[in-house]
A and B are shown apart, each in its own frame.
Chain A
Amino acid sequence: MVCPYCACLCDDLDVTIEGNRVTGVDNACDLATHKFQTGNRLPGPIRLTGKGWTGIGREEALDFTVEMLLDADRPLIYGWSTTSVEAQSHGIHIAEEIGGVIDATTSVCHGPSILAIQEVGHPGCTLGQVKNRADVVVYWGCNPLEAHPRHLSRYTTYADVRKTESANVADEFLHLKPGGDYAVLGALRAIVRGKTDFIPAHVAGVPKAQFLRIGEICKGAKYGAFFFGVGLTQTAGKYKNIRNAIELVDELNRHTKWTLTPMRGHFNVYGFNEVCTWATGYPYAVDFSRGMAFYNPGETTAVDILARKECDACLVVASDPGAHFPRAAVEHLASIPVVQIDPMVNATTAFCDVQMPAAVTGIDAEGTAYRMDGVPIRAKKILDLGYPTDSAILGEIYRRIRDERKVREVKGT
């Protein structure tokens, strides 16, 4: 059984099913167990009217969605991190067809990592390389024990250096002042290059002696692995932090073997980046309004389009911007037509006009997901609860939009 929770995509879970319900999960972390056993699915499509929520038929929900997308001037299609590549692919084609903007949760998590990679590249590997070879592992700005609980046990065997909030498992803990990541990474780079004279007694609260010690550990590794999370991507410095980390790993490769891997969050957030790249050329934040794929994070990213109040209709799939976006963006979302395709009631439900529940990929739908290291794994279907899949719903929306546009073209001539 493949776990559809985080981007570790553990594929060694054993699930017990009785009467079309999951009654036991072995090998999984608590986070995953909870996901398998959550029961609060929305039973069918709902629509917000003047009198509150009413249940509607699937046809009405699809009609509303198609009309909304076709009538919009600046539609946004957003989400994607907890569904299959097959569904994501339909989403990209819908955006292309209607000249909309498509973006993923990437833009509020590892978007800065991608910007850094686009500047300086990415020395990476599959997680088995770390498991089989690494004698030094660094976790930076992430908290694997709580966010990716099985990452340590499945993918690492030794760990000499770890920076984590669960610092008690690390042999070295770099306790730096908030916002000091860029400076500390820069100091480490200098040390690896042999320029120790430049380093002052303390950098962002870290004493020079510790830098020197860590520099030696890193250079002395047979195989080093550097993992980082949103504590590095979304703090002061943002993508420049990641660039510095990549260039540190690059520098270390002149001494020994090092690799770097972003700790991606949701189980298929990386899948969206992959399919969006092979279909459009860019990993996220693609604007089709001029017919070609146009990419400019900061301009074509979801939060920015919403905050500028450009967007006039939004389709949300497999994510919850209501819970995660800044206030200005959520306020604008609440003022425009929004359709959400999601199995559960969430913060976005509060202001969407229509919500369609879909099967959960990895529980009652199968499909492809990409692990944080790029390894594609097929998520399985273990229950049949009668919900349509994201892929089926989006495929149907795409088909109807194309048909309707043909009809409108004929009428127009």
Chain B
Amino acid sequence: MTELLLSNACVIDPLNRVNGDVMDIAIRDGWIVESVGNGAEVIDAKGFLTLAGGIDSHTHLCGTKVNFGRYMMPEDMRAGRTIRRGLMHATSGYSVPTTYGNSYRYSAMGYTSILEGAMAPLEARHTHEEFSATPLQDTMANTLFDGNWSVMEAVREKDVKRAAAIVAWTLAAVKGFAIKLTNPGGTEAWGWGKNVTCIRDTVPHFDVTPAEIIETLIRANELLRLPHSVHLHCNNLGAPGNYQCTLGTFDLVPDLNKERQSLYATHVQFHAYGGTSWKDINSKAEPVAYAVNRKPQIVIDMGQMMFGKTTTMTADGPMEFNLYRLHHNKWSNHDVELETGSGIIPVYYSKKSLVNCVMWAIGLELALLVKDPWQCLLATDNPNGAPFVRYPEIIGLLMSRRYRDEELRTIHPGTEKRIVLHTLDRELTWYDIAVMTRAGQAKALGITKIGKGHLGIGGEADIAVYPIRIGETDPSRDYAAVVSAFQRTAWTIKRGRVVTRDGEVVVEGTNRTIWARSRVPEAYDISKDDRFVKTFDRYYTVRMANYPVQDAYIPRSTCIESEAVL
């Protein structure tokens, strides 16, 4: 038995409605308990801001495409090198760090759980291998179904239960966490060098529309009682005028779940553009945020873009090719049979680019215009909008109008006519930030029940202590102090054990993979369905028996089980 007492902690814990109370947190064997004995190790938190461990609900950090980003960019690897020191492995990479680089840097910022935004089922083993080398965070994997042939056939036949059965088998086979749709239908079309422009186009050869795929899988997801909702990267990412596609997509979403949203729309900044071309692009954050305000069944994340160098990587293969034709830098693409695609290009977001300045403003506008912070989470679609190490600056911008004004003075002078950011006075509170960086993620992902995202009794002792006293800091004025505090915790505690101290990693760490399994009735075991098996055998290049990820790849795991209602 190990016991730890974190004393004198200034706690903000939105899931338990705690807002700035100074208290002691008792921890036994990795979990938060009522009290501990006198022999417990004591850490004096000195009245510092204490939050549940950070949770990133949409980031690209492990798997085939992420690793290809590293592979093709030695220049990015050189831009973020650290030497082997103490218990820390050498790390490389700025926008796409090595697994240890990701893990150490997230941990120094207080993050203890992360969700990989896009895993192709066929290549799931790769993601899990990298998870094992990401020692300081628990990990989850969004599993791609946007171009799944068997799912699209079920959609065409309007057979929601069959779609649910395919999802259930696949998630359990690849140890995935949730349904991810990236440009649904578009990635399959890209297999022929084509794309879909929005939700009413028809996917070549399948006679289904993105709207039908989205609607069917939202319903299938709820039949399976999965912890998270469908996680959607909308069609037509990054194109001027695409906000209408986004609004049309939001209109498809029924309210099916009392405990959380029915749709998680990711990196909405990239989907809130007005105008008809790059010449007249402008912000449509207002109509998009207002739609979210009217629809409690939708949660979004910002997909904030920050100026500087980064790498774009997504399963949205056709979008990356279009982006490549704009940037003429270097382009990788990786289409995955019967499932999905992906693309990668490096980018530089410049304050001299009007388009980039509008993008920067839109992300912040979304966070300030969505009334309820539980509905707009903080993320950059790491590394697409910016590497995750930029999160503290985003927190600073959201909490300080003065900081925003100072930044606005440095960007392209034509920007103001196309945005509303300069008119927004709202400054988010410490409590809002706690929601947008952990509590909201835990609720949206459906992992509060396994103890994530809060500091109440029975919670998992994942805790971040930031070296700042909120009573002594005015974030509106002292935003630099806020940014600095969120860049490096005094202590990050994972499962009751201090893992980083002042940014230095002090343990080797052992991650845990969280995955979801929905038990379906025997009649819906798709692995015994003739047609499914025949499609598999005929078109995949691996045998069905070799497809599931073996237990060896998840040496430590938590399976969230549910009973499907089919």
A contact residues vs B (CB 8 Å cutoff)? 2, 11-12, 85, 89, 93, 96-97, 114, 117-129, 131-133, 154-155, 222-223, 250, 253, 256-257, 259, 273-275, 277-283, 288, 290-293, 295, 368, 370, 374-378
B312 CB, nearest partner CB in chain A, Å? 12
In the complex with contacts A126-B336, A128-B337, A291-B90, A118-B73 CB distance below 8 A: yes
Chain B residue nearest to A123 (CB atoms) is B333
B338 at the interface (CB under 8 A from A): yes
B440 at the interface (CB under 8 A from A): no
Residues of B with C-beta under 8 A to A121: 72, 324, 330-333, 344-345
B64 CB, nearest partner CB in chain A, Å? 6
Residues of B with C-beta under 8 A to A377: 125, 542, 546
Residues of B with C-beta under 8 A to A273: 71
Taking a contact as CB atoms under 8 Å apart, the answer to whether B98 and A374 are in contact is no
Stretch at the interface among B38-46, B81-89, B465-473: B81-89
**Which one of B68, B332, B337 lies within 8 Å of A127 (CB-CB)?**
B337
A268 to B542, CA, bound (A): 16
Chain A residue nearest to B338 (CB atoms) is A128
Residues of A with C-beta under 8 A to B344: 121
Residues of A with C-beta under 8 A to B192: 133, 222-223, 257
Stretch at the interface among B126-134, B266-274, B485-493: B126-134
B394 CB, nearest partner CB in chain A, Å? 26
Other CB < 8 Å A-B pairs besides A96-B89, A119-B330, 10 of them? Answer: A93-B89, A129-B191, A129-B337, A131-B539, A279-B133, A280-B92, A293-B98, A374-B68, A374-B126, A378-B550
In the complex with contacts A128-B338, A279-B133, A274-B67 CB distance below 8 A: yes
In the complex with contacts A122-B68, A281-B92, A378-B546 CB distance below 8 A: yes
Chain A residue nearest to B100 (CB atoms) is A279
A259 CB, nearest partner CB in chain B, Å? 7
Chain A residue nearest to B98 (CB atoms) is A281
Residues of B with C-beta under 8 A to A125: 333-337
A127 to B539, CA, bound (A): 10
Taking a contact as CB atoms under 8 Å apart, the answer to whether B71 and A293 are in contact is no
Residues of B with C-beta under 8 A to A370: 126
B74 at the interface (CB under 8 A from A): yes
B399 at the interface (CB under 8 A from A): no
B77 at the interface (CB under 8 A from A): yes
Taking a contact as CB atoms under 8 Å apart, the answer to whether B89 and A279 are in contact is yes
**Which one of A2, A126, A222, A293 lies within 8 Å of B546 (CB-CB)?**
A2
A37 to B213, CA, bound (A): 49
**Which one of B81, B99, B539 lies within 8 Å of A132 (CB-CB)?**
B539
Residues of B with C-beta under 8 A to A277: 67, 70-71, 98
B93 CB, nearest partner CB in chain A, Å? 5
In the complex with contacts A124-B334, A374-B334, A377-B542, A96-B90 CB distance below 8 A: yes
Taking a contact as CB atoms under 8 Å apart, the answer to whether B321 and A126 are in contact is no
**Which one of A96, A292, A293, A374 lies within 8 Å of B123 (CB-CB)?**
A374
A355 CB, nearest partner CB in chain B, Å? 29
Residues of A with C-beta under 8 A to B541: 126-128, 131, 154-155, 375
**What string of 1s and 0s marks CB contacts (under 8 Å) between B424-443 and chain A?**
00000000000000000000
Residues of B with C-beta under 8 A to A282: 70, 74, 77, 92
In the complex with contacts A96-B90, A129-B191, A280-B92, A253-B321 CB distance below 8 A: yes
Residues of B with C-beta under 8 A to A290: 83
Q: Which of A281, A288, A290 has the most CB of B within 10 A?
A: A281
B193 at the interface (CB under 8 A from A): yes
B393 CB, nearest partner CB in chain A, Å? 24
Pairs A–B under 8 Å by Cβ, sample size 27: A2-B546, A12-B543, A96-B89, A96-B90, A97-B84, A117-B72, A117-B332, A120-B330, A121-B331, A121-B345, A123-B331, A127-B541, A223-B191, A223-B193, A253-B193, A257-B193, A274-B126, A277-B98, A278-B67, A278-B99, A281-B101, A292-B83, A293-B81, A293-B90, A368-B129, A375-B541, A376-B129
B461 CB, nearest partner CB in chain A, Å? 29
At the interface, is chain B mostly helix, strand, loop or mixed? mixed
Residues of B with C-beta under 8 A to A222: 192
B164 at the interface (CB under 8 A from A): no
Residues of A with C-beta under 8 A to B338: 128, 132
Taking a contact as CB atoms under 8 Å apart, the answer to whether A118 and B539 are in contact is no
A114 to B97, CA, bound (A): 19
Taking a contact as CB atoms under 8 Å apart, the answer to whether A368 and B125 are in contact is yes
Residues of B with C-beta under 8 A to A378: 125, 546, 550, 552
Residues of A with C-beta under 8 A to B126: 274, 370, 374, 376
A271 CB, nearest partner CB in chain B, Å? 10
A352 CB, nearest partner CB in chain B, Å? 28
B11 at the interface (CB under 8 A from A): no
B206 at the interface (CB under 8 A from A): no
A126 to B126, CA, bound (A): 14
Residues of A with C-beta under 8 A to B81: 281, 292-293
A-B pairs, top 5 by smallest CB distance, nearest first, are A128-B337, A281-B92, A291-B83, A257-B193, A281-B77
B540 at the interface (CB under 8 A from A): yes
Chain B residue nearest to A294 (CB atoms) is B81
A118 to B92, CA, bound (A): 16
A292 to B92, CA, bound (A): 8
B122 at the interface (CB under 8 A from A): yes
List CB contacts (< 8 Å) of B307-343 with chain A.
321, 324, 330-338
Residues of B with C-beta under 8 A to A114: 71
Taking a contact as CB atoms under 8 Å apart, the answer to whether B122 and A118 are in contact is no
Taking a contact as CB atoms under 8 Å apart, the answer to whether B98 and A85 are in contact is no
B65 CB, nearest partner CB in chain A, Å? 10
B414 CB, nearest partner CB in chain A, Å? 31
A126 to B191, CA, bound (A): 11
Chain A residue nearest to B62 (CB atoms) is A278
Residues of B with C-beta under 8 A to A223: 191-193
Taking a contact as CB atoms under 8 Å apart, the answer to whether B335 and A259 are in contact is yes
Residues of A with C-beta under 8 A to B84: 96-97, 288, 291-292
Residues of A with C-beta under 8 A to B546: 2, 11, 377-378
A155 to B73, CA, bound (A): 29
Taking a contact as CB atoms under 8 Å apart, the answer to whether B77 and A250 are in contact is no
**What string of 1s and 0s marks CB contacts (under 8 Å) between B267-285 and chain A?**
0000000000000000000
